[in-house]
Amino acid sequence: MTSENPLDPINAYAAADDAPLSEGDPTGSPARSGSGTLTAIEAARIAVKTLLHGGVRYVVVSPGSRSAPMAYALAEADASGRVELLVRIDERSAGFTALGLALSTGAPAAVLTTSGTAVGNLMPAVMEANHAAVPLVVLSADRPDELRGTGANQTTDQLDLFGEHVRFAVDVPAGTDPQRAVETALSAATGVFEDTPPGPVQLNLAFRDPLVPAAGDHLPEAAGPGIWQIGRGPEPLTLSPAAATLDERRTVVLAGHDAGPVAEAFARAHGLPLLAEPSSNSRFGPNAVGPYRLLLEHFGPDSAQPIERVVLFGRPTLSRPVSALLARADVPSALYQPVPVAWYEPGRRTELPLDNLSDLADFSGRGSSAWLDAWLLAGAAAQRALDQVLSEQPAATGPTVGALVWNHARGQLVLGSSNGIRDVDLAGQPAPEPHATVFANRGLAGIDGTISTATGIARGGRQETTLLVGDVTFLHDAGGLLPGFAENDPLLRIVVLNDSGGAIFNLLEHGAVQESGTYGNAVERLFGTPHTVDIAALAAAYGVEHCSVRTTAELAEALAAPPQGRSIIEVRTDRSGLRELHGRIKAAVAEAVRGVLA
């Protein structure tokens, strides 16, 4: 949404002298300057007060001069216990930290930058927030109008920099009251407007010199930090059992990212198998099937019990077998969509969108005991076969690491994109009830800012948090390990599967190209991206505890230890045999399942 949108306050606040203003700051300074035009500090205090009134409790600040008025106003609010500030020198890290705070708290979180390239560094976090419907508030400081287009230092066209990736973007001229702009932005960020999901917004705040507080201003007396978030987790739901009048159908419930516990409750109430991705927060309960993606071919169109219908909750992102199932024209599918979502455009998917569970039940029908039992028996056989293959080698592998992290994680679990989340999807055995709230940046499934996101999640959720990443994802955001001055370390344990490169490409078609030898070392060089980084030394440089393990037994012992502040468990492994390992897993599962379904 841009300044041309009818919801945009445009420049109306420039003349809105009767609009409510700040009641003053904690130091007793007046709300307006004597000339009737707001000073930079006065405007910043109004913006901060409006942000807090709208539910913002965390702001991540990157240093800069033009953004100084907002920084000082936020420092005043922080000292009085009304907001909690985190400081990051890297704006990209700041953006993803704010994203994590918004994810864990469910409330809008803000990130403040100075002008110029600083704002552009927020683009990856804004893009992720757009597709994942996260209320991220960008506070970009800017030069006043008279300096724009003149070659003034750090001056560029910042409004609409994020284009269609923000729900709302507005330019607030220097000296004007920002209240209406902030209020509208928060409404857009939290999804108040009809048919619009939550998402990121941009407030481009111009400030004119002076950028520092007046001579008599000072910080208020410290009130101590506030606690803005109490630990929460996915609580199981209970739905009424399916009506006996519903038709029996061979339907599966597919729970993609962010589906929530309602998917598990629906599958249980209707006697249907539940195929749940790890970040669905539905992967638990008696109907959940662990290695489901290896079973889909056994319930295909030529099988004795082919899938007839699919009910989809959330967004499926992880596997090609699932994508192939949803693409089948002979298998009708429905998508439960009670509220607007940001991850697809209406009319671009084939599923029938349904906004209530009653209509969804009519579509899905209920499963017969034979249908559910077939999936549960096949799932149990597949899990045993998978576990047997993994137990045959003591050295840690991606699937064994994924299974162990899934079993040990408590509080909050963050899964990096690439192989880590897929290893959990393959080998993480569903529990009767959820052990942790699971987060993942699946809006665009990038590896950008994963450590920073997890840090924000840990700070916002105020719970023990485990992050599972590969070494490339870890190195991509190593700067996210740098905390702000005097910040308390969150309980964040980072498990790094270090196989010296990008293992996921070995499992894609690029692995076959590498095996053929027709492109020499191009696949390894361009996709595997091997490296020799000393992660222990990197951890020491950032003041993070580190230990290294190589076997599953050593990893299990390390995960069983209580977390202490921030720590890194580096799992050293070899990716050269990964493609062959997955082939053995698939073959073993196929043999076991054929024996059960025969």
pLDDT of residue 225: 62
Residue 23 is predicted with a pLDDT of 35
Q: Is residue 96 part of a domain?
A: yes
Q: Cα separations (Å) of 418 from 352, 409, 474, 573?
A: 29, 19, 11, 16
Q: Give residues with Cβ within 8 angstroms of 144, minimum separation 6.
A: 173, 174, 175, 206, 207, 208
Whether residue 412 sits in one domain with residue 372: no
Amino acid letter for position 318: L
Per the structure, how many domains does the chain have? Answer: 3
Q: What is the pLDDT of residue 125?
A: 98
Position 413 scores a pLDDT of: 98
Burial (0-12, 13-18, 19+ Cβ within 10 Å), 173? middle
Spatial contact of 310 and 331, defined as CB atoms under 8 Å apart = yes
State the pLDDT at residue 231: 53
CA 167 to chain centre: 18
Residues 110 and 84 in one domain: yes
Would residue 362 count as lying in a domain?
yes
Which one, of 288, 421, 380, 423, lies nearest residue 589 by Cα? 380
Domain match, 171 and 294 both? no
Answer yes or no: is 46 within a domain: yes
273 and 169 share a domain? no
CATH number, domain of 340, equals 3.40.50.1220
Do 175 and 261 fall into the same domain?
A: no
Q: Is residue 591 part of a domain?
A: no
Measured distance CA(441)–CA(421) in Å, rounded: 10
In 3D space, the residue among 288, 581, 278 whose CA is nearest the CA of residue 421 turns out to be 278
Q: Are 120 and 163 in contact (CB under 8 A)?
A: no
| Residue 15 DSSP code | S
Considering the domain architecture, whether residues 447 and 349 belong to the same structural domain is answered as no
Q: Are residues 25 and 105 in the same domain?
A: yes
- For residues 274 and 298, give the distance between their C-alpha atoms in angstroms, rounded to a whole number: 16
Q: Using CA atoms, how far apart are residues 173 and 318, in angstroms rounded to an integer?
A: 44
Let me know whether 47 and 159 are in one domain: yes
Task: Identify the domain containing residue 522 by its residue range.
Answer: 396-573
Same domain, 44 and 166: yes
- Decide: 497 and 471 in contact? Cβ < 8 Å: yes
Spatial CB neighbours of 226, under 8 Å, sequence gap ≥ 6: 57, 81, 82, 84
pLDDT of residue 598: 77
CATH number at residue 539: 3.40.50.970
Looking at residue 33, what is its pLDDT? 34
Residues 366, 405 within the same domain: no
Alpha carbon distance 278, 317 (integer Å): 11
Q: What is the helix, strand, coil percentage profile of the chain, to 5?
A: 40, 15, 45
* Residues 409 and 428 sit within 8 Å (Cβ to Cβ): no
Inside any domain, residue 50: yes
Please check whether residue 523 is in contact with residue 505, taking contact to mean a CB–CB distance below 8 angstroms: yes
Same domain, 64 and 93: yes
In a domain, 283, yes or no: yes
- 372 and 404 share one domain: no
- Find the angle CA(194)-CA(445)-CA(293) to the nearest 5 degrees: 105
Decide which of 335, 353, 379 is a domain's last residue.
379
Does the residue 229 lie in any domain? no
Rounded average pLDDT per 10-residue block, the chain, 598 residues: 35 31 35 61 98 97 96 96 96 98 97 96 98 98 85 82 96 96 98 94 96 93 64 80 96 97 98 98 97 96 96 95 96 96 92 97 98 98 97 92 97 95 97 96 95 97 96 96 92 96 77 82 84 96 97 96 94 90 96 92
- On whether residue 388 sits in a domain, the answer given is no
Token pair, residue 558, equals: 């390390």
